[in-house]
Amino acid sequence: MAGQLLESLPIITNVGKGLQLTWRSLHFYIGFDTMSGRIFTVPNQITLLRLVFVPFFAIFTVEGRFDYALALAVLAAASDFVDGWVARRFKQQSALGVALDPVADKVLMGAAYIVLSWGGLLPWWLTALVLIRDGGILGGALLAMLVSGYRPLPPTPAGKASTCGQLAAVLAVVGYRARFPFIDPVLVRACIYLAGALTIISGIHYLVVSRQRLVRRPRNQLL
């Protein structure tokens, strides 16, 4: 009886529908705002800023402005530390950040090695090692995502050591051309061979870890 009375009053019915529509819109807005907040976090913005450094580093290197290129390389290295610290300190970790951070590192490092090798400042064999390793990691992660869904592969100590060695080679080469004190050809050559050795070790370690993760999967997930 009460339901029929309410349905007979168009004003109350319209108000109810309006409130329901408003609530749904508010719920959608809150969900979208929360999702956007998890995407555009401060660590993710710092990571994206590192990608912006890529073309400027290439331009400065080609034009012989190695002092500017060195400053950008140092800023990129510092931002790689800062975004991780901010994410952990303020609990702003996100799935996008976990995936975006290594991609940004590999894009920046790959571009730096190609530009420096093109200018004759780094040997092409080292650039080939870096690109093959990084391409294999990204390709393996993409394949694993397509087969079994997103499964984050946290960085290993070997991977971190490889990244540090590759960065040290870039800083040494650019710093030497920028006439930075205490950087001589002996140090540059040592950093180059160290980066090559760590890249090979990291690549082999990644293959072993990937195989172990695949073997540990349940049999019904392999289908």
Q: What is the pTM of this model?
A: 0.76
What is the reported pLDDT for 109?
94
| Tokens 């730096």 belong to residue | 112
Question: Tens digits of per-residue pLDDT, 154-199?
Answer: 778 998 899 999 999 999 999 999 999 999 999 999 999 999 999 9
pLDDT at residue 37 tops 60: no
Query: For the chain, which residues make up each domain, given as ranges?
Result: 15-221
Least confident of 74-78, 85-89, 114-118, 149-153: 149-153
CB 63 within 8 A of CB 48: no
pLDDT at residue 64 tops 80: yes
- At the fourth CATH level, the homologous superfamily of domain 15-221 is CDP-alcohol phosphotransferase transmembrane (TM) domain (1.20.120.1760)
When comparing pLDDT for 5 and 140, which is higher?
140
Cα–Cα distances (Å) from 94 to 38, 45, 53, 83, 139, in that order, read 6, 12, 23, 12, 22
pLDDT at residue 12 tops 70: no
| Tokens 């290993």 belong to residue | 156
Dihedral of the alpha carbons of 35, 88, 103, 150, in degrees to the nearest 10: -60
